């Protein structure tokens, strides 16, 4: 999503978000992420207005004080930016890819099922299975911090069964242009 | 919510979520402070996949020796080797070395280009006695054109704006003949005008009639 992203050409405009919309964003973030209202309040205080940065291809980035915190594609789920995820690693469910997949992930590739199901990978167990279309934190084998944020294309059970093709679509990853963007 | 609450709530968190000690609800959870490499901006554990591993290593060794030991000690390297076949490891190393060389060459080229790029201060005749000054090429030195324009405007108490010229490139247009003053400002590195070698600045005069350049 952010592999080639140039702030100068790809951003259409900044607009402060209406407080009613902010409320609805806050509610959906609270329901979509595993985050306590207090923590969300700490990273995004109610008093601080959210700024909506509209970008090409229906990407919206929401910033507080110019720092990107949340982004969204079209009206899909909200994703935290990778920096936010590093600070609060528990807000998204975790999947893990094996070591061999890291360099492809860092080049922006989507994550294929075998990398997630192999010995170095990790998928939530069946009793906590994720459906398709849920945002996940992509971790890597032997690493402490998340390396990307993505969305599941298949349910986790299905990934194990099919074990082929794209399992998690990468939304943002370490070193892409959203990562390079400190402030907006 | 309503229209945006499309994705299912992540009630299904894996048993060993990233943070094992679940925080008590009323207090906001303090963020995990993450160290980022000053060279490649990645967390240091990912430096090995970056384009400047050698530099990152040096930086980490100097700033955070304990972490350096953790990531690059013999044992750490051994365990890494254990998970990969020897060939794959060699290939990876080769790739990294190649990438590094490439990145360096790229940085070099960028620097050269920067040093070679010219700044043109052009005095354009509006009437017989009235001029405007256009400054072109500042952005090559990483200067924010809008800020520079603002600075010119407040310094000279005239209008100054960022406009697109005939080639579709951005330049700063200041009303009034201030070419010498701008040159002085660039030499004196006033405000945002920093890091411009004076040799790269040229003054040009443009008359109303053609060929007066």
Retrieve residue B132's tokens: 């405007």
Residues 122-161 of B with CB under 8 A from A: none
pLDDT level of residue B6 (50, 70, 90 thresholds): very low
- Considering A41, A71, A87, which residue would you say is the last residue of a domain? A87
The percent of residues in chain B predicted with pLDDT above 90, rounded, is 0
User: Does A157 fall in a domain?
Assistant: yes
Contact of B8 with chain A, judged by CB distance below 8 Å, is answered with yes
Quick one: pLDDT at residue B77?
A: 66
Backbone angles phi, psi at A107, to 5 degrees: -95, 0
Q: Using alpha carbons, list the distances in angstroms from residue A169 to A26, A75, A132.
A: 25, 17, 11
In this predicted structure, which of A145-159, B64-78, B177-191 has the lowest mean pLDDT? B64-78
Alpha-carbon distance of A151 to A149, in angstroms, equals 7
- What does the H/E/C string look like for B42-97? CCHHHHHHCCCHHHHHHHHHHHCHHHHHHHHCHHHHHHHHHHCCHHHHHHHHHHHH
> Structural domains in chain B?
44-114 (no CATH), 117-206 (3.30.780.10)
Quick one: pLDDT at residue B76?
A: 64
Asked if the Cβ–Cβ distance from B14 to A128 is below 8 Å, we say: yes
SS3 A184: coil
Q: Are residues A81 and A126 in the same domain?
A: no
User: Does A67 fall in a domain?
Assistant: yes
Asked if the Cβ–Cβ distance from A141 to B45 is below 8 Å, we say: no
Q: Are residues A64 and A113 in the same domain?
A: no
User: Does A181 fall in a domain?
Assistant: no
Q: Using alpha carbons, list the distances in angstroms from residue A25 to A28, A56, A77, B11.
A: 5, 20, 10, 18
Q: Which domain holds residue A135?
A: 94-173
User: Does A126 fall in a domain?
Assistant: yes
Quick one: pLDDT at residue B209?
A: 58
Sheet holding B119-125, edge to edge: B160-164, B170-175, B131-136, B119-125, B201-206
User: Does A182 fall in a domain?
Assistant: no
Q: Are residues A20 and A65 in the same domain?
A: yes
Q: Are residues A28 and A74 in the same domain?
A: yes
User: Does A153 fall in a domain?
Assistant: yes
Along the 184 residues of chain A, how does pLDDT read in single tens digits? 788 888 877 888 889 999 999 999 999 999 988 888 888 888 888 888 899 999 888 899 999 988 899 999 888 899 999 988 988 888 899 899 988 888 888 888 898 998 888 888 888 887 888 888 889 999 988 888 889 999 999 888 888 888 888 989 999 998 888 888 877 7
Contact of B163 with chain A, judged by CB distance below 8 Å, is answered with no
pLDDT level of residue B11 (50, 70, 90 thresholds): very low
Asked if the Cβ–Cβ distance from B31 to A77 is below 8 Å, we say: no
How many independent structural domains does chain A possess?
A: 2
Q: Are residues A83 and A105 in the same domain?
A: no
For residue A79, the cross-strand partners are A71
**B20 pLDDT exceeds 70?**
no
- Considering A87, A113, A145, which residue would you say is the last residue of a domain? A87
Q: Are residues A11 and A83 in the same domain?
A: yes
Nearest CB to B7 within list A32, A38, A41:
A32
- The residue-averaged pLDDT of B176-183 equals 86
> Which one of A62, A132, A174 would you mutate to disrupt binding with B, by most B Cβ within 10 Å of its Cβ?
A174
> Which one of A22, A23, A27, A31 would you mutate to disrupt binding with B, by most B Cβ within 10 Å of its Cβ?
A31
Q: Are residues A130 and A153 in the same domain?
A: yes
The average confidence (pLDDT) of chain B is: 75
Contact of B169 with chain A, judged by CB distance below 8 Å, is answered with no
**B16 pLDDT exceeds 60?**
no
- Considering A87, A116, A134, which residue would you say is the last residue of a domain? A87
- The residue-averaged pLDDT of B158-186 equals 85
Q: Are residues A50 and A107 in the same domain?
A: no
pLDDT digits (tens, 9 = 90+) for B144-171: 888 888 888 888 898 888 888 777 788 8
Q: Are residues A11 and A67 in the same domain?
A: yes
Q: Using alpha carbons, list the distances in angstroms from residue B21 to B27, B54, B191.
A: 14, 36, 49
pLDDT level of residue B75 (50, 70, 90 thresholds): low
pLDDT digits (tens, 9 = 90+) for B76-127: 666 665 556 667 777 777 877 788 888 888 888 888 887 777 888 888 888 8
pTM exceeds cut of 0.80: no
Which CATH number is A63's domain given? 3.10.400.20
């Amino acid at each position: 999503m952010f592999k080639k992203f140039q702030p100068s050409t790809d951003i259409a405009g900044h607009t402060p978000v209406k407080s009613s919309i902010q409320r609805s964003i806050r509610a959906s973030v609270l329901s979509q992420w595993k985050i306590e209202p207090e923590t969300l309040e700490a990273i995004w205080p109610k008093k601080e207005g959210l700024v909506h940065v509209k970008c090409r291809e229906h990407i919206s980035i929401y910033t507080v004080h110019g720092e990107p915190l949340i982004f969204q594609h079209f009206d899909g789920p909200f994703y935290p930016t990778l920096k936010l995820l590093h600070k609060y690693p528990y807000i998204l469910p975790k999947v893990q890819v094996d070591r061999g997949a890291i360099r492809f992930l860092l080049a922006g590739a989507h994550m294929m099922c075998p990398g997630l199901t192999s010995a170095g990978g990790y998928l939530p167990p069946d009793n906590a299975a994720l459906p398709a279309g849920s945002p996940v934190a992509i971790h890597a084998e032997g690493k402490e911090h998340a390396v990307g944020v993505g969305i599941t294309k298949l349910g986790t059970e299905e990934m194990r069964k099919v074990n082929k093709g794209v399992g998690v679509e990468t939304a943002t990853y370490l070193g892409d242009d959203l990562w390079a963007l400190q402030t907006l | 919510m309503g229209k945006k609450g499309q994705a299912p709530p992540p009630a299904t968190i894996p048993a060993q979520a990233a943070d094992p000690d679940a925080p008590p609800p009323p207090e906001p959870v303090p963020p995990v402070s993450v160290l980022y490499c000053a060279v490649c901006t990645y967390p240091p554990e990912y430096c090995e996949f970056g384009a400047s591993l050698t530099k990152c290593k040096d930086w980490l060794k100097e700033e955070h020796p304990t972490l350096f030991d953790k990531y690059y000690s013999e044992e750490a390297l051994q365990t890494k080797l254990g998970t990969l076949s020897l060939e794959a490891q060699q290939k990876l190393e080769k790739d990294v070395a190649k990438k590094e060389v490439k990145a360096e060459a790229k940085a070099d080229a960028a620097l050269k280009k920067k040093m070679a790029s010219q700044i043109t201060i052009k005095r354009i005749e509006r009437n017989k006695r009235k001029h405007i000054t256009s400054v072109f090429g500042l952005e090559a030195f990483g200067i924010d054109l809008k800020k520079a324009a603002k600075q010119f405007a407040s310094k000279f108490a005239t209008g100054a704006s960022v406009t697109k010229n005939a080639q579709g490139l951005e330049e700063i247009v200041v009303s009034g003949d201030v070419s010498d003053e701008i040159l002085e400002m660039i030499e004196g590195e006033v405000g945002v005008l920093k890091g411009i070698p004076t040799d790269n600045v040229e003054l040009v005069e443009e008359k109303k009639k053609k060929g007066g350049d």
